[in-house]
């Protein structure tokens, strides 16, 4: 369907207004950026949330305003980056139904090459980070004409590229779905600076038949040509889109604010009580000089002096800080490894799995989003291979089934794993001596030949003696 059929409108102005799907339920990017950037947290910039102290004279008149400690922490970044690392610390692999030597395998190898050239592992982590902090992300797979090449395993004159559409960088995304939740159009609004350093507003729309870019000029919206615009050769919307209702830290953002407020106020208490306070009763006739050794203080017969010190912080403050920290880790399924392993005498492979359990469960929950996301990506690339790069592979690309395999990141206890396997096979060797030498990475693989020669020489010497001593 083209834009006119989807919107029922004929002019660019009317079409764009129809394609701009209402986004009032999505969080505002400006607010999310304030939560993400530590210097924009409320404890830093909001004087009503954490007011400065007013110093008053005995009559109650404000003499000056003293700035208080303002402590903010990058907890939001920690939560998001941990989720990205556990979900995409290991590369996404592909499970396929292609048989060796078949045309389906040629299509699969071409797709793997396209993903490799576009640094898919990096793009995956970038996409996850943007989704988790701004609640939506999209990627656009497009083609460019090129010199003939065989980088994909066959000769063609195109290269397949990808671009991420990132709300954090002021891309406004407008996916349009029908009543069956099938995407029928996707649009992006953005601005670019022209040669005169003035912002020019653009609007792009992608359907299964067309790719169109509009530009807002002095006379309103008009269609402008770009490479890749026009008829869509793959007859499939070349967009992969994902969204979630909230950021990863939405449920604990008030815990984060409260924690920062507690730490800021506690810092004020520490500053106030850091040095002991001296209480003097009566008249003091002599005080020691600063830095003087063997200090002594002289006073009259009725004078008295005491040092007031703060023995311990209030237990309730410490309890609330610990509770807030526990809530943040528990409700976002973010492991607090340094605190969890503290006091453990030995960390085994089973213990590591228990510590990472919440993080792995979170990866499985997010698989509902990412498996659909990557499957959509593979379907677009299959269409490009069969309908643009090499039309003789069209039937093979239709038959090919690709499934993403997401493996959560895990620290491997290799020793325990090897011992378990050896127990299962009767304590027999698992790998050859040559492979074990190569896996050690202490020397290049060619060094195995030298090692074998030395072993043979040692055997000869043990049988005939050292020939140099004869």
For residue 457, what pLDDT band results from cuts at 50, 70 and 90? Answer: confident
Average pLDDT score, the chain: 85
Query: What tens digit of pLDDT does each residue of 4-37 get?
Result: 989 898 899 999 999 998 887 888 999 999 999 9
Angle (CA) 78-89-369 rounded to 5° is 80
429, 380 contact by CB (below 8 A): no
What average pLDDT does this structure show over 247-266? Answer: 94
For residue 124, what pLDDT band results from cuts at 50, 70 and 90? Answer: very high
pLDDT of 251 above 80: yes
Question: What residues contact 212, with CB distance under 8 A and at least 6 apart?
Answer: 3, 204, 205, 223, 229
Q: What are phi and psi of 312, to 5 degrees?
A: -160, 150
Q: Give the up-direction half-sphere exposure of residue 280: CA atoms within 13 A in the CB hemisphere.
A: 10
Distances (CA, A) of 51 to 45, 261, 371: 10, 11, 47
Q: What is the pLDDT of residue 190?
A: 94
For residue 415, what pLDDT band results from cuts at 50, 70 and 90? Answer: low
What gap in Å lies between CA 210 and CA 229, rounded to an integer? 7
Q: What is the pLDDT of residue 238?
A: 96
pLDDT more than 70, % of the chain:
81
Q: What is the pLDDT of residue 160?
A: 96
Q: What is the pLDDT of residue 33?
A: 94
Q: What is the pLDDT of residue 109?
A: 96
Q: What are phi and psi of 76, to 5 degrees?
A: -60, -45
Helix, strand, or coil (residue 414): helix
207, 151 contact by CB (below 8 A): no
pLDDT of 464 above 60: no
DSSP β-bridge partners for residue 192: 200
Predicted TM-score (pTM) of the model is 0.81
| DSSP string for 282-294 | S-EEE-PPTT-SS
- Mark out the alpha helices in 75-233 (DSSP H runs): 75-88, 103-117, 120-134
pLDDT more than 90, % of the chain:
55
């Amino acid at each position: 369907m083209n834009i006119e059929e989807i919107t029922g409108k004929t002019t660019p102005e009317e079409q764009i207004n129809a394609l701009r799907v209402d986004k009032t339920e999505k969080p505002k990017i400006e607010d999310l950026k304030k939560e993400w950037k530590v210097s924009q947290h409320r404890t830093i910039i909001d004087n009503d949330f954490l007011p400065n102290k007013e110093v008053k004279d005995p009559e109650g008149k404000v003499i000056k305003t003293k700035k208080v400690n303002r402590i903010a922490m990058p907890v939001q970044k920690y939560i998001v980056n941990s989720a990205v690392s556990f979900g995409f610390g290991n590369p996404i692999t592909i499970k396929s139904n292609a048989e060796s030597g078949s045309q389906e395998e040629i299509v699969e190898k071409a797709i793997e090459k396209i993903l490799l050239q576009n640094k898919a592992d990096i793009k995956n982590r970038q996409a996850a980070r943007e989704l988790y902090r701004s609640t939506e992300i999209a990627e656009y797979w497009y083609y460019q004409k090129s010199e003939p090449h065989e980088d994909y395993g066959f000769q063609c004159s195109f290269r397949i590229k990808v671009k991420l559409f990132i709300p954090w960088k002021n891309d406004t995304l407008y996916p349009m779905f029908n009543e069956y939740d099938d995407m029928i159009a996707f649009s992006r609004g953005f601005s670019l600076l022209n040669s005169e350093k003035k912002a020019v507003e653009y609007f792009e729309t992608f359907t299964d038949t067309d790719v169109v870019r509009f530009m807002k000029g002095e006379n309103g919206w008009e269609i402008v040509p770009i490479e890749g615009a026009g008829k869509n050769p793959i007859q499939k919307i070349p967009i992969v889109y994902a969204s979630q209702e909230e950021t990863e830290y939405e449920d604990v953002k008030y815990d984060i604010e409260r924690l920062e407020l507690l730490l800021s106020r506690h810092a004020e208490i520490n500053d106030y009580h850091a040095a002991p306070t001296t209480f003097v009763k009566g008249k003091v006739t002599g005080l020691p000089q600063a830095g003087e050794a063997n200090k002594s203080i002289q006073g009259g017969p009725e004078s008295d002096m005491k040092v007031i010190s703060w023995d311990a912080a209030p237990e309730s403050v410490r309890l609330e800080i610990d509770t807030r920290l526990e809530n943040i880790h528990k409700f976002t399924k973010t492991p607090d490894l340094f605190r969890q392993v503290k006091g453990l005498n030995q960390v085994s492979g089973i213990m590591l799995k228990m510590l990472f359990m919440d993080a792995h469960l979170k990866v499985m929950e997010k698989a509902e989003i990412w498996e659909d996301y990557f499957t959509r990506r593979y379907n677009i690339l299959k269409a490009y291979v069969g309908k643009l790069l090499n039309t003789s592979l069209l039937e093979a690309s239709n038959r090919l089934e690709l499934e993403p395999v997401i493996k959560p990141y895990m620290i491997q206890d290799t020793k325990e794993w090897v011992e378990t396997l050896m127990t299962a096979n009767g304590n027999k060797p698992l790998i050859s001596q040559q492979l074990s030498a190569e896996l050690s990475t202490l020397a290049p693989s060619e060094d195995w030949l030298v090692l074998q020669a030395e072993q043979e020489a040692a055997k000869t010497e043990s049988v005939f003696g050292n020939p140099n001593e004869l």
